Amino acid sequence: MQSFTYPKLTTLKIIKDKPLIVCDADEVIFDFMNSFETYLHTKGLYFNWKSYALEGNILNNKNEALNKSQITDTINNFFMHETESMSLVEGAVNSLQILSEQHNIIILSNIPFKFYEKRKVALKKCGINFPFFANTGPKGKAVKYLSDIHKGKIWFIDDSPYQIKSVKLEEKNVNTILFVGNSKLEALIKSKNKYCDHFSNKWEDNIKTILN
């Protein structure tokens, strides 16, 4: 397979007679943007909320945007120091536990591989013990692989319209939920329903959609 995950998805064992949910972590389970904003403020930086992107939106106290290298360093430092203590998206943990009664659940997150263990600790702390894989780049290839080996109904939950698009282009039969609980982030996303099957900003709505 062409996707790049850690560990490799070939290590996964799933129950094939149960539907599968592939769930993102940042902004879906963990309250990434609020936690990231708090961290930025401790470094004399702030987020501009002008577009759906990191580049151009992280500014210093002189109103100057950080360059790509500085953004990478800032993100890496954030994950290094804050991954295990990020706050949770309301309803995420309880909702996943409810859904796990009838579904296989896999956590697929684009956290840098070197912080995999920290994210694993964070998941365990909040009682989420589902298989966890770190991914790099578009998630479409990874979800296509899961679809090929599972051959049953699959749900994909992510806060990124780009990841939703990636999955739909690879495997159109995957049921997608664009989930954005952060109202500031939601306001920046245009054409919410262009590729996703469902849009949601509350976990209780995810449960209703999936169990309907």
Contacts with 39 (C-beta within 8 Å, 6 or more apart), sequence order: 78, 81, 82
DSSP category for residue 50? S
Query: By the 8 A CB rule, do 22 and 29 touch?
Result: no
pLDDT confidence bin for 92, thresholds 50/70/90: very high
Which spans in the chain are helix H? 32-42, 68-82, 92-99, 116-125, 140-150, 161-170, 183-188, 203-211
pLDDT confidence bin for 1, thresholds 50/70/90: very low
Q: How far apart are CA 128 and CA 138, in angstroms?
A: 24
Residue 49: helix, strand or coil by DSSP? coil
Which of 61-65, 162-166, 188-192 shows the lowest mean pLDDT across its residues? 188-192
pLDDT (tens digit per residue) in 134-170: 999 999 999 999 999 998 999 999 999 999 999 999 9
Reported pTM = 0.96
First to last CA, the chain: 33
Q: Which two tokens stand for residue 163?
A: 């990841």
Residue 177: helix, strand or coil by DSSP? strand
Q: What average pLDDT does the chain have?
A: 95
